[in-house]
Structure 1
Amino acid sequence: MSLDEHKKNVSFLIIGGGAWGLSLANTVSNTNSKVFLWDGDRKLLDSLKKNRRHPFFCTDIEIHENIEIVIELIECKYDAIFFVTPFQALEAVVQLMLDKRITADHYVCASKGIDINNLQLAHEIMKPLLLKAASFVQLSGPSFAYEVMQGLPTAVTVGYKGRNVTKFFKNYVHQSNFRTYLTEDYIGVEIGGALKNVIAIGVGIADGLELGANARVALIVRGLKEIRTFGLSRGAESTTFSGLSGLGDLVLTATDNQSRNRQLGLKIAEFNNVHKALESVGKLVEGYKTSQALDRSKEINSENYPIMHEIIEIVLHSRKPAEALARLLSRELRPE
């Protein structure tokens, strides 16, 4: 399809044909926009193009008629590009966009994490794309893909820098069942979305050990304090972490069994072995990757980040959950 044909409609390019990418593609298609979906998995694209359904996810829901499956990426400018890949693939996808000369007015990252190799957040990884763009956007919040795909009510935070974001999201993304709340604290939105996955692993471990509801809530609340502390050190605003992309996303990910991060924690408690737990979950666990990035950064210490520190020790350095629990419970009295 030529660039002129693209410009007849507001156009989206969704990079990533997994559950979350397809859910977002279906969602923005409801605004009568033209949506193009691409993934690095050619077999998946062929299946989506032929059957108009995802082979593994929400197999009973047909892909919206406004979605076109793109087999080969070509030079083009879109109104918005959504990056919905595993976070550790983001740098490679950004380079692909540069190589193919694929551009947009709005670059939206819907993946959450910290790059293991360079310890960067999404806006830093995507910087080469943003030189001539209207905006960078980080979309985050309590939003399981399965429920979004079903059209169930969902609310997310849109952290942004740049111009024309409010108008664009109001006209082409925000809907009655997919509500978007805007903030200029994009760094806080990025950090909340990344670090809540680590805390969710810890809550899963605690629930797997049957430590009770009191312990679960304590981990969530004190874990949120650590996320806020980390965010403030990066220039984020404190209030962001009380919103959808902070507390909201953390509560959802830590307490609902649809969460892979929580599932990993439950399996660690069951097997007392991280590798067996990862094999049992069988899917990408972003919190595990973020733990690796935090460990490399050397920023997470037992004094300022005791919960995240112990979770990282369990996940990456073979500390037994019972030992980590004992260390947390033996900490000295301190102000809240």
Structure 2
Amino acid sequence: MTEQPIAERGGLAVLGAGSWGTALATLAARNGVPTHLWGRDATALVDMAASHRNQRYLPDLQLPTGLSFEPDLAKAVRHAATVLIVVPSHAFADMLSDIAPLLDPGTQIAWATKGFEPGTGRFLHELVAERLPGRAAAVLTGPSFAREVAAGQPSAVTVHSEDAVFAQHLADLLHAPNFRVYTGNDVLGAELGGAMKNVLAVATGVADGMQLGLNARAGLITRGMNEMLRLGVALGAKPETLMGLSGLGDLVLTCTGDLSRNRRLGLALGQGIGIHEAVAQIGQVVESMVTADEVVRLADKHHLDLPISKGVRAVLHGEVTPVEGMKALMAREQKPEYPQGLFGTH
């Protein structure tokens, strides 16, 4: 019997078999959605199909029998109603180029990648519009450690799209008793929050690694939120988006949770470990390594002073030590908290 095309069954192709891609594919499969998981490591996919476990990233998660593993990218996306991209930001543009000639005309595109295009500071939705024009597109983001989602612990995220019907469709594919999915229409704001929180998490990690106390952590989170809001408003994002799950929610999680790779990078730096050794110890992509450059580039373009973000960039580039960076923040001139209103430039 000829297999029914995935598109007719509302099928989903998840591209990226790391921890987050595996967790999202598992959610969809558990919801009865025909789901294909693709990854660059064909051997790892074969092992996952045999053991129904992702031994490298989520060894404790029993993968559902309804989840298919496909090492052939063309087969993974062929006839898919929705493609969900979950690869690091530095690989995002190439992934779009790879799938462009493979997609059916009606296939919709979503991504759970957080960050900017390295070297240009462009948002990921801009790349989607450029390389896959005319398609419904959505970003999935919010405070969500893959390990906790995989374990069935309660989580809440948000899907933003200019296409309200597609946003709701993607939310329906993933929504579950312990995984609440909200919707919105501010793609730029949702992407900014998901990217910028990684930079700010390094700052709080550094402070905690230096054992500067809970007061310092709270101050950095609050002033970091201020930097996110001011940059967001300058770019045209909605403040309420950044005060929601994709901004404040993700910021709090990433700045306080030790499952965060970016926070762990900061912790290591604050403890005196060198940048290369710290990244090697984490063993996965640390998005703040490139995102800090793009945040500062955007801030300079809009004539904004973002001292925490700029300090993180300087530390990551070895221009200052963590101790020097913290001293510079504390030595800044005294001023009103909001000299020009909530979204002033200071």
Range of TM-score over shorter length? over 0.9
Q: Secondary structure of 2:22's match?
A: helix
Q: For residue 258 of structure 1, what is the aligned residue in structure 2? A: 259
> Equivalents in 2 of 1:84, 1:2: separation in Å?
30
Give the residue type in structure 1 aligned to 2:327: A
Report if the CA contact (8 A) 1:158-1:183 is conserved.
yes
Q: For residue 107 of structure 1, what is the aligned residue in structure 2? A: 109
Q: Secondary structure of 2:74's match?
A: coil
Give the residue type in structure 2 aligned to 1:18: G
Q: Secondary structure of 1:112's match?
A: coil
Q: Secondary structure of 1:137's match?
A: strand
Choose 280-289 or 106-115, whichever is displaced more: 280-289
Report if the CA contact (8 A) 2:35-2:68 is conserved.
yes
Deviation at 1:2, TM superposition (A): 7.2
Q: For residue 138 of structure 1, what is the aligned residue in structure 2? A: 139
**Match status 1:318 vs 2:316:** no
What's the TM-score once normalised by structure 1's chain length? 0.93
Report if the CA contact (8 A) 1:205-1:321 is conserved.
yes
Give the residue type in structure 2 aligned to 1:106: Q
> Equivalents in 2 of 1:228, 1:320: separation in Å?
27
Give the residue type in structure 2 aligned to 1:165: F
**Match status 1:43 vs 2:43:** yes
Deviation at 1:15, TM superposition (A): 0.2
**Match status 1:226 vs 2:227:** yes
> Equivalents in 1 of 2:159, 2:118: separation in Å?
24
Report if the CA contact (8 A) 2:157-2:181 is conserved.
yes
**Match status 1:329 vs 2:330:** yes
Question: Which runs of structure 2 are paired with 1:241-280 in the superposition (5 Å)?
Answer: 241-271=242-272, 273-280=274-281
Choose 301-310 or 66-75, whichever is displaced more: 301-310
Q: For residue 341 of structure 2, what is the aligned residue in structure 1? A: none
> Equivalents in 2 of 1:103, 1:19: separation in Å?
29
Q: Secondary structure of 2:84's match?
A: strand
Match of 1:97 among 96, 99, 102: 99
Q: 1:117 to 1:106 in 2, by over 3 A?
A: same
Q: For residue 205 of structure 1, what is the aligned residue in structure 2? A: 206
Q: 1:237 to 1:303 in 2, by over 3 A?
A: closer
Give the residue type in structure 2 aligned to 1:54: N
Deviation at 1:67, TM superposition (A): 1.0
Q: For residue 151 of structure 2, what is the aligned residue in structure 1? A: 150
Q: For residue 31 of structure 1, what is the aligned residue in structure 2? A: 31
Report if the CA contact (8 A) 1:3-1:77 is conserved.
no
Report if the CA contact (8 A) 1:272-1:320 is conserved.
no
Report if the CA contact (8 A) 1:272-1:321 is conserved.
no
Give the residue type in structure 2 aligned to 1:58: L
Give the residue type in structure 2 aligned to 1:224: M
Give the residue type in structure 2 aligned to 1:220: I
Report if the CA contact (8 A) 1:140-1:245 is conserved.
yes
Q: For residue 62 of structure 1, what is the aligned residue in structure 2? A: 62
Q: 1:103 to 1:321 in 2, by over 3 A?
A: farther
> Equivalents in 1 of 2:286, 2:96: separation in Å?
22
Aligned length: 335
Deviation at 1:44, TM superposition (A): 1.4
Q: For residue 342 of structure 2, what is the aligned residue in structure 1? A: none
Deviation at 1:56, TM superposition (A): 1.7
Report if the CA contact (8 A) 2:121-2:294 is conserved.
yes
What's the TM-score once normalised by structure 2's chain length? 0.90
Choose 36-45 or 71-80, whichever is displaced more: 71-80
Provide Cα deviations, 1:177-231, integer angstroms capped at 9, x if missing partner.
1111111111100000000000000100000111111110000010011011111
Unaligned runs of 5+ in 1: none
Give the residue type in structure 1 aligned to 2:179: F
Choose 56-65 or 140-149, whichever is displaced more: 56-65
Q: Secondary structure of 1:78's match?
A: coil
Unaligned runs of 5+ in 2: 338-346
**Match status 1:81 vs 2:83:** yes
